[in-house]
């Protein structure tokens, strides 16, 4: 094979290809198991153990897998082939209920109860299944009902804490008519961040108003609902991750109320002037504490970009945008999310990623704070295609961080960035033995008062600008949530449950 012109090829050897397929298959099986209603409360670790216990069984065409009325306690997942499910009524003929194919399952209730089978399941052609009995399941994982009950108890505890927070703030049944629009703080890609005041209580909050129409237009429905679910699980206060107190909706918007008062975004501050190292140190330290909080809560943020970092009236960062966030106990994520030049090598390669991606993004962000641009951006539109950026990220080596011409960093900051922009996730700063504690003894942070920052007692570098921004925001009440009532006429089912902020029971 001969190249017809200059170009770039991506290559993969057979061993790597097979390894990826095997990992993909395992991840796919965990996702299949998680889709089973009675297994939804199990952790990924439990699902992986369940996957390891499944054994293979084959059936020939027309062979009965399950017979209506029999007492058997086996759960099946279809690997190859199809089955038809039929049922015979006491006074009528046998009718076909449905057909199931590869990746689907049946017999799941057998893990919970010994009730007689409610239908027949018959192989259509050659059939290969993975199966496990109730006894084998309980021998390793214990009774499934206990797992479900423990999960329900944990969710009910979170729900009760959220309910108490709402009642304390007078937000238990809040609606748009109960709020006074103070002003528009930030325009976001699918809505607005608005300062609001409770008309009766007098308390002021930030309201995230998500346009239903824009969410659908941008295909963000699933991310919007996942974000709301994640926010509903956070009950521990943090100076940098404000609590979401409640949610409600009207004809045009999905709304979440936060216990914070944001006035701008980090991107607006960087656009005024690049940060000095002292200024960048304040924001970097704040974000380390924010990530420490989220990681402790089992959340990978995946959204550490200037456009998505809000700044409150005191100049402190507020991580309020969780639409890319994922739970730590989910299978390793393999999707692309956010700006290309903020992706880590493991995201670019699609090999699966977790907590370390947040610290890679922190390195890119610090670089952008002090230089005004990302390390993988050249400024030449022809050289800054996504593929070219991915190639630079994939080929990056420790200690070879690119710097703008005629620009220099302190040795301590250069060392920090090299430790954050380490291609190997397990060797990245924040992911080594002592975790985020390593930041607190790092030389670049020498003299930084972590406890003062965490308590909000430190004066933020742009506090004066944020005071000015608050004054400007208070003059924009007429720009808040302008879509006319009833403007959304599309599908309604995708946001079912959004108006209840308590964790589902």
Position 396 pLDDT exceeds 50: yes
Percent of the chain with pLDDT over 70: 90
CA 190 vs CA 194, 212, 220, 251: distances in Å: 13, 8, 9, 15
Query: In terms of pLDDT, which residue wins out, 401 or 84?
Result: 84
Helix (H, G, I), strand (E, B) or coil at 56: strand
Query: What is the distance between the alpha carbons of residues 71 and 417, in angstroms, rounded to a whole number?
Result: 62
Q: Report d(CA 442, CA 459) in Å as an integer.
A: 22
Summarize pLDDT for 44-68 with one digit per residue, the tens.
777 878 888 888 899 999 999 999 9
Q: How far apart are CA 136 and CA 348, in angstroms?
A: 40
Of the pLDDT bands very low, low, confident and very high (cuts 50, 70, 90), residue 22 is very low
Residue 197 binned pLDDT confidence (cut-offs 50, 70, 90): very high
**Mind spelling out the 3-state secondary structure of 295-317?**
HHCCEECCCCCHHHCEEECCCCE
pLDDT tens readout for residues 94-110: 888 888 888 888 888 88
Does position 391 have pLDDT exceeding 60, yes or no? yes
Predicted local distance difference test score (pLDDT) of residue 233 = 85
State mean pLDDT over 258-268: 95
Segment 352-364, tens digit of pLDDT = 888 999 999 999 9
Distance CA 431, CA 305 (A): 20
The pLDDT score that the predictor gives to residue 435 is: 86
Q: pLDDT at residue 217 above 80?
A: yes
Confidence (pLDDT) at 27: 59
Q: Is the pLDDT of residue 502 over 80?
A: no
Show the beta-strand stretches assigned E in 89-119.
Answer: 94-100, 105-106
Q: Quickly state the pLDDT bin for 18 (edges 50, 70, 90).
A: very low
Q: What is the pTM of this model?
A: 0.72
H/E stretch holding 278:
helix 277-296
Q: What's the pLDDT tens digit per position in 443-452?
A: 999 999 999 9
Q: Is the pLDDT of residue 24 over 50?
A: no
pLDDT in tens, 368-384: 999 998 999 888 888 89
The pLDDT, as a whole number, for residue 95 is 85
pLDDT at 71: 86
pLDDT at 214 over 60: yes
pLDDT tens track for 403-445: 777 778 899 999 999 999 999 999 999 998 788 999 999 999 9
* pLDDT attached to residue 19: 43
Q: What is the mean pLDDT of the chain?
A: 86
For 69-83, the DSSP string reads T----EEEEEEEEEE
Grade residue 13 by pLDDT with cuts at 50, 70 and 90.
low
**Looking at residue 451, what is its pLDDT?**
93
Asked whether 357 and 346 are in contact (CB, 8 A), the reply is yes
Instruction: Give the domains, in start order, of the chain with CATH numbers.
Output: 28-147 (2.60.120.10), 174-260+474-491 (3.30.200.20), 266-462 (1.10.510.10)
Q: Tens of pLDDT along 467-498? A: 999 999 999 999 998 876 667 889 999 998 89
Angle among Cα 495, 497, 501 to the nearest 5 degrees reads 120
The pLDDT assigned to 248 comes to 92
Q: Could you tell me which residue, 272 or 20, shows the higher pLDDT? A: 272
**How many other C-beta atoms lie within 10 A of the C-beta of residue 59?**
20
pLDDT digits 0-9 by tens, 121-158: 999 999 999 898 888 888 878 887 787 677 677 666 66
In this predicted structure, what is the pLDDT of residue 20?
42
pLDDT at position 503 over 60? no
Backbone angles phi, psi at 372, to 5 degrees: 90, -5
**pLDDT computed for residue 352 by the predictor:** 84
Beta strand pairing status for 310-312 and 262-265?
Answer: antiparallel
Average pLDDT over residues 107-121: 85
Q: Residue 468 is inside which H or E element, if any?
A: helix 463-473
CB of 247 within 8 A of CB of 256? yes
Burial of 473 (0-12, 13-18, 19+ CB in 10 A): buried
CA 99 to chain centre: 34
């Amino acid at each position: 094979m001969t190249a017809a012109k200059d170009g770039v090829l991506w290559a993969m050897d057979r061993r790597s290809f097979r390894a990826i397929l095997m990992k993909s298959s395992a991840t796919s099986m965990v996702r299949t198991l998680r889709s089973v209603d009675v297994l939804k409360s199990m952790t990924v670790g439990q699902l992986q153990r369940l996957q390891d216990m499944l054994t293979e069984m084959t059936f020939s065409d027309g062979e009965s897998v399950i017979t209506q009325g029999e007492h058997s306690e086996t759960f099946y997942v279809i690997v190859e082939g199809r089955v038809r499910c039929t049922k015979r009524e006491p006074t009528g003929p046998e009718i076909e209920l449905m057909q199931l194919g590869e990746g689907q399952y049946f017999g799941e209730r057998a893990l919970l109860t010994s009730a007689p089978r409610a239908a027949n399941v018959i192989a259509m052609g050659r059939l290969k299944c993975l199966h496990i009995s109730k006894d084998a399941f309980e021998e390793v994982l214990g009774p499934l009902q206990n797992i479900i009950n423990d999960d329900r108890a944990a969710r009910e505890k979170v729900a009760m804490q959220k309910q108490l927070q709402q009642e304390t703030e007078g937000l238990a049944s809040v609606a748009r008519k109960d709020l006074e629009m103070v002003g528009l703080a930030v325009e976001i890609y699918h809505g607005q961040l608005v300062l609001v005041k409770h008309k009766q209580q007098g308390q002021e909050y930030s309201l995230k108003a998500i346009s239903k129409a824009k969410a659908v237009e941008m295909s963000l429905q699933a991310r919007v609902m996942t974000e709301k679910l994640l926010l509903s699980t956070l009950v521990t206060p943090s100076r940098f991750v404000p609590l979401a107190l409640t949610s409600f909706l009207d004809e045009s918007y999905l709304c979440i109320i936060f216990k914070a008062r944001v006035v701008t975004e980090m991107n607006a501050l960087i656009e005024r002037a690049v940060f000095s190292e002292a200024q960048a140190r304040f924001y970097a330290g704040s974000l380390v504490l924010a990530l420490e909080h989220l990681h402790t809560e089992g959340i990978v943020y995946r959204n550490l970009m200037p456009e998505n970092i809000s700044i409150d009236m005191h100049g402190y960062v507020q991580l309020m945008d969780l639409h890319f966030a994922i739970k730590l106990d989910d299978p390793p994520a393999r999707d692309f999310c956010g700006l290309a030049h903020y992706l880590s090598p493991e995201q670019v390669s699609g090999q699966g990623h977790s907590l370390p991606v947040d610290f890679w993004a922190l390195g890119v962000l610090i670089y952008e704070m002090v230089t005004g641009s990302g390390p993988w951006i050249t400024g030449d539109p022809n050289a800054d295609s996504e593929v070219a950026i991915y190639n630079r990220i994939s080929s990056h080596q420790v200690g070879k961080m690119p710097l703008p011409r005629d620009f220099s960093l302190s040795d301590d900051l250069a060392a920090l960035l090299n430790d954050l922009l380490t291609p190997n996730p397990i060797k990245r700063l924040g992911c080594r033995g002592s975790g985020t504690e390593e930041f607190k003894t790092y030389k670049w942070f020498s003299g930084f008062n972590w406890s003062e920052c965490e308590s909000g007692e430190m004066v933020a570098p742009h506090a004066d600008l944020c005071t000015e921004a608050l004054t400007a925001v208070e003059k924009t009440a007429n720009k808040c949530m302008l879509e006319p009532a009833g403007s959304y006429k599309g599908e309604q089912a995708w946001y079912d449950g959004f108006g209840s902020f308590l964790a589902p029971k």
